[in-house]
Amino acid sequence: MANKQMGLARAGRRKFIKWASVGAIGAALSSGCRPGAEVLPPRSSEWKQGKSKVVVVTNPAIQAPRAMDPNAMQATVDTAMCRLMGTESRKDAWAQLVTPQDVVGIKVNVCGGARNNCTHVEFVNAIATGLVEAGVPEEQIIVWDRRDGELIMAGYTINKGRKGMQCYGTPSFDRKSTTSGAVTTRYSTIISKECSVIINAPYLKTSSGVGITIALKNHMGSMDNPWEYHRNGCDPYIADIFAADVVRQKNKLNICDATYPLFNGGPHENPSYHWAFNGVIASVDPVALDRVGTDILQEHRDREHGGSWPIRPAPRHIATAASDRYKLGTDDPAHIEVDRIEV
């Protein structure tokens, strides 16, 4: 099975290295952000003071869900990162977030394990290309979520060895509990002990019990008892989980796989409710990203319905996370600068 997957170890690792060294991708390693295309420069005007930057990049060449073209995916992630960080160099963009000494955890969302309803392998490989170019050794990158089995079902190859990019589910949780607001839990030792930097890599989708599950809720997969905090639409529990120092201080970037979003039901797969957005959403502000992601989902729902089709339940946790109590980011459109690009 591993030899057939575009995974992250053994056969998958060879594909990752191949993508990063030949053809258009190889050219991009030395020249810029958008393989096979003219480099898109940073915005010439400065971002307004006090505004959170959210970049939304779409690229029809990704061809979700049929092809998930790795070159197009790389170009899309690179453009998002360069635009977000204000540079024409992929290496410089990632180097603003990580150093060669960091152990970097990429927290994906593979809840349910369905390949068309999770953070895609091709998306993660595009992130890893940038990290490696910024000097992070492959062995110091850990792709992870709750369980090995869900990662395998989602198309990942488990690697717990000493060579190559690592990929596995949480092996253990902290011995001591952490209390953050109304939440008392034990965090995954991947986030608390192994990693110095977390790249939060959620998938854009609705969730029947919460409204949406994007950047903020993704860290429910970082603790041992998420089922205890799903009442009241997970509010204020999602904010409490993210506000814990072990998450808040290490979570340096939120970059969302919006290639084939789920716009109704969820978080588990429902093939009737996807559409090919072929996009990436990136921000250092998880609240602003969730606000923009929710708007994208809502806009598509209204188009699909031919009128208003509100997300239910309303995702109250976004406003809670933005409140003065938590200050995890902003959900106010007046304080969010959205940069939309089509590659």
Residues forming beta bridges with residue 185, ordered by sequence position? 178
Q: What is the pLDDT confidence band of residue 38, given thresholds at 50, 70 and 90?
A: very low
Q: What is the dihedral of CA 136, 259, 282, 150, to 10 degrees?
A: -50
Residue 195: is its pLDDT beyond 60? yes
At residue 48, the pLDDT reads: 52
**In the chain, % of residues over pLDDT 90:** 84
Beta strand 197-201 with 104-108 is: parallel
Residues 8, 14: Cα–Cα separation, whole Å: 8
∠ Cα 285 291 293 (to 5°): 100
The pLDDT tens digits of the residues spanning 56-85 come to: 999 999 999 999 999 999 999 999 999 999
- The widest CA-to-CA distance across the chain, in whole angstroms, is 53
Is the pLDDT confidence value at 39 over 50? Answer: no
Ranges assigned E (strand) in the chain: 52-58, 104-108, 141-145, 166-169, 178-180, 183-185, 197-201, 203-207, 211-213, 251-262, 279-283, 336-342
Whether residue 14 has pLDDT greater than 70: no
Q: Cα(179)–Cα(225) distance, rounded to whole angstroms?
A: 13
Q: Give pLDDT, residue 162.
A: 81
Looking at residue 174, its pLDDT comes to 98
Q: Token pair of 132, please?
A: 């490696």
The topology (CATH level 3) of 2-15+51-342 is: Rossmann fold (3.40.50)
- Residue of 93, 58, 64 whose CA lies nearest to 343: 58
DSSP state, residue 40: P
The b-or-e profile of 69-101 (16+ CB within 10 A means b, else e) is bbbbbbbbbbbbbbbbbebbbbbbbbbebbeee
Arithmetic mean of pLDDT, 240-255? 98
How far is residue 241 CA from its own chain's centroid?
17
Q: What is the pLDDT of residues 297-325, one digit of tens each?
A: 999 999 999 999 999 999 999 999 999 99
